[in-house]
Structure 1
Amino acid sequence: MLTIHPQFRLDNKAFSKPGSLLDDVKTNYPDDYDFLKALLYARSIDVQTSGSTGQPKTITHTVQALQKSAEATGKYFELKPGTKALHCLSSAFIAGKMMWVRALHLGWHLTRVLPEANPLQNISEHFDFAAMVPLQAQSSYEQLDQIKTLIIGGAPLSKVWEEKLAKLNTDIYLTYGMTETITHIAVRNLKKSNAVFETLPSVKISQDKRGCLTIDVPYISTQKFVTNDVVDLISNTSFKWLGRYDHVINTGGIKLYPELIEQQLQPYISCPFIISSIADETLGDKMVLVINSKAFDIDLNQLSKQAGLSAYHQPKQVIFMTDFPLTINGKIKRNDVKSNINKYSL
């Protein structure tokens, strides 16, 4: 169970006992009540994964591990008791749950708002720290100077938005992590042009034979977490992310990383899309651009030229789908898309 830090405040109110906090939350933030009750009275909590890389599953984390994760974030960003923090994420997932844990355990002054697209729209207050998904950061762009340090995760951020956000006075970081590692274990400062992720304190990393990232988080598990994320390993505390091993397209013996190509195409395609592949007798896999829309005219050569794609990185075909399969938190199910387009291309 978690003990409330004496300096913790919720909406400028102090709480010395769990019961009074839960009464307030039940009235004002009922969607957070069950999680907080478990956090304050149990030794572990169950967390649902998003399902973006497979079937959603339930993972159990000890409250002690959640506290250690909170301490690592606090130490990296130098967030002391009394830190003014904005919580605007859904507590249905680990990122939203951890905002509560950090505030309660580290003694932050927390302002809770509903997880809407623009959480700052009716707020003039300034904050030391906040966490958002890309849509929220983009929608709040004009007001982000109200936040000193902002972390962004949960979905990809386009290169255009990376460059735009990097120009703000706010210190903005992209996060790397997953439910299994209790949110982020590494962050990337958008103000640095090297695209390097740095790990939080106590976290060490390495690579397996596939070139995929393995993560050692001693406060969570004695065993390493083995990922399917292909990386350029710089040191045991820093790396560049290249893409997912299970998404790599091998076309004519050349390995292509869809996520990197998507980042280049993002500014020029207004509809949701992904880079995928279909079976090809000559190439093995033929790279295709799959767009979530009704069919419209598109010039692949011109598009690729605009995006600065080389001939090897240019999609060979466009496929339109009217309904992308999505996970429970809105991420595209890439494997399902690939299965569907290969089914109909035969």
Structure 2
Amino acid sequence: MASKFNNLRINNLDAGAEFEKKIVFFLENWFSDSEKVEVQTSGSTGIPKVFEIEKKRMVNSAKMTCDFLGLKEGDTALLCLPVEYISGKMMLVRSAIRHLELFISEPSVKPLKNLDREIDFCALTPLQVEHSLDRLPLVKNLIIGGAAVSESLKQKISGSENHIYETYGMSETLSHIALKQLAPVSEDYFTAFDQVSIATDDRGCLKIYAPELNEEVLQTNDLVEIINEKQFRFLGRADNVINSGGAKIFPEQLETVVKREIPNEAVFLGLEDEILGQKLILVIEGEDSDKIREVIQNIPFEKSFHHPKDIIFISEIPRTPNGKVSRIGLKEKVSQ
């Protein structure tokens, strides 16, 4: 794929014609006289929506990431995320403003399968990382986003000598505003960029002030523990909290515990119950297994009511187009 955009060097690793068309469409818009571009949310926590973003704010976001990772002109990057979403768009913007040499690969669960050289920078989803472990040594700086990184995946990448980070962000923050290093050093908390201020509301949910990215104070539904003015620990989404018998249960925290013990995708849900209000259940992706049931039963959860009332095995957990677990879709499927 020859690039005609402001000397941006683009190399086609294994991208199809349709993916190329989407890249060209965005770049034509990016280098046009328009001051804004359209961005679509993933729909993982609600109905997908489209909104406009000022290009100058996307440039600010790109500079924050490039500066943090020390990326310079001539470094290489790999794009293997859908360009319909902010994650893919920002990889193109970073490459354009920092003059990176960009390689493109068709978005898939194995995007690094044809990579035969070292790359300075790449962004992947946890699912893509899971299927690319043997190729990760080729990526000097890797950011993982789109969904939480499971405990089992953290263990698999913990021995890496290259720099690997989990990201925190959303479409409204133009990709991430905070990073947590997973390798070669394992950190417990996310650290926000210098240009970002954080606080919580009366529910304990994160508030983000990043004037270079969004003129509004962004109120999230993410419950966090504030460590200091720049660091925080993610606890779970307020709208995912399960109220069972008067006890508030954070499903994401329980999922972290379970995923240390089993390799399967596991999701806690609260289903309507006449006595408890919501009954805690655990949905596991894969074939029914007495061994897995026994493992779950023997997990020493912090509270007795953290043990699921039921365990349901399902062949495939619904996901959004960019790979996130769709709790809304899963709850509908299980309820039926």
TM-score, with length taken from structure 1: 0.85
1:221-260 alignment, distance < 5 Å: 221-260=214-253
Residues 1:37 and 2:28 are matched in the alignment: yes
Instruction: State whether residues 287 and 317 of structure 1, in contact with CA within 8 Å, keep that contact through their aligned partners in structure 2.
Output: yes
- Distance in 2 (CA, whole Å) between partners of 1:117 and 1:299 is 25
Residues 1:113 and 2:109 are matched in the alignment: no
- Distance in 2 (CA, whole Å) between partners of 1:323 and 1:212 is 31
Alignment-mate amino acid for residue 187 of structure 1 = L
Residue number in structure 1 paired with 2:91: 99
- Distance in 1 (CA, whole Å) between partners of 2:18 and 2:261 is 45
* Alpha-carbon distance change, 323 to 4 in structure 1, aligned in 2, over 3 angstroms: closer
1:73-152 alignment, distance < 5 Å: 73-152=65-144
Shift of residue 270, structure 1, vs aligned partner = 5.4
* Alpha-carbon distance change, 320 to 127 in structure 1, aligned in 2, over 3 angstroms: closer
1:13-28 alignment, distance < 5 Å: none
1:162-311 alignment, distance < 5 Å: 162-191=154-183, 192-266=185-259, 268-269=261-262, 271-292=264-285, 297=290, 300=293, 302-305=295-298, 307-310=299-302, 311=304
- Distance in 2 (CA, whole Å) between partners of 1:322 and 1:118 is 21
Alignment-mate amino acid for residue 95 of structure 2 = A
Alignment-mate amino acid for residue 131 of structure 1 = A
Shift of residue 5, structure 1, vs aligned partner = 6.4
* Alpha-carbon distance change, 27 to 50 in structure 1, aligned in 2, over 3 angstroms: closer
1:331 to 324, 332, 336: 324
* Alpha-carbon distance change, 327 to 271 in structure 1, aligned in 2, over 3 angstroms: same
Shift of residue 4, structure 1, vs aligned partner = 6.3
Post-superposition Cα deviations, 1:113-167, rounded to whole Å, max 9, x if no partner, equal 2223222222221121111111221222112111111001112321011122121
Instruction: State whether residues 49 and 58 of structure 1, in contact with CA within 8 Å, keep that contact through their aligned partners in structure 2.
Output: yes
Among the aligned pairs, what percent are the same residue? 36
Alignment-mate amino acid for residue 11 of structure 1 = N
* Alpha-carbon distance change, 222 to 309 in structure 1, aligned in 2, over 3 angstroms: same
3-state SS of paired residue (2:306): coil
* Alpha-carbon distance change, 145 to 325 in structure 1, aligned in 2, over 3 angstroms: closer
Instruction: State whether residues 125 and 323 of structure 2, in contact with CA within 8 Å, keep that contact through their aligned partners in structure 1.
Output: no
* Alpha-carbon distance change, 262 to 9 in structure 1, aligned in 2, over 3 angstroms: same
3-state SS of paired residue (2:305): coil
| Residue-pair matches, total | 327
- Distance in 1 (CA, whole Å) between partners of 2:54 and 2:219 is 20
Deviates more, 1:40-49 or 1:28-37: 28-37
Residue number in structure 1 paired with 2:145: 153
Instruction: State whether residues 5 and 106 of structure 1, in contact with CA within 8 Å, keep that contact through their aligned partners in structure 2.
Output: no
Instruction: State whether residues 59 and 180 of structure 1, in contact with CA within 8 Å, keep that contact through their aligned partners in structure 2.
Output: no
The answer for unaligned runs of 5 or more in structure 1 is 13-24
3-state SS of paired residue (2:123): strand
Shift of residue 304, structure 1, vs aligned partner = 3.6
- Distance in 2 (CA, whole Å) between partners of 1:309 and 1:230 is 20
* Alpha-carbon distance change, 142 to 336 in structure 1, aligned in 2, over 3 angstroms: closer
Residue number in structure 1 paired with 2:62: 70
Residue number in structure 2 paired with 1:16: none
* Alpha-carbon distance change, 123 to 228 in structure 1, aligned in 2, over 3 angstroms: same
- Distance in 2 (CA, whole Å) between partners of 1:11 and 1:198 is 33
3-state SS of paired residue (1:265): helix
- Distance in 2 (CA, whole Å) between partners of 1:117 and 1:327 is 14
Instruction: State whether residues 248 and 256 of structure 1, in contact with CA within 8 Å, keep that contact through their aligned partners in structure 2.
Output: yes
- Distance in 1 (CA, whole Å) between partners of 2:292 and 2:71 is 49
* Alpha-carbon distance change, 213 to 298 in structure 1, aligned in 2, over 3 angstroms: same
Deviates more, 1:268-277 or 1:177-186: 268-277
3-state SS of paired residue (1:135): helix
The answer for unaligned runs of 5 or more in structure 2 is none
3-state SS of paired residue (1:136): helix
Alignment-mate amino acid for residue 10 of structure 2 = L
Instruction: State whether residues 4 and 105 of structure 1, in contact with CA within 8 Å, keep that contact through their aligned partners in structure 2.
Output: no
- Distance in 2 (CA, whole Å) between partners of 1:320 and 1:125 is 40
TM-score, with length taken from structure 2: 0.88
* Alpha-carbon distance change, 315 to 45 in structure 1, aligned in 2, over 3 angstroms: same
- Distance in 2 (CA, whole Å) between partners of 1:133 and 1:234 is 26
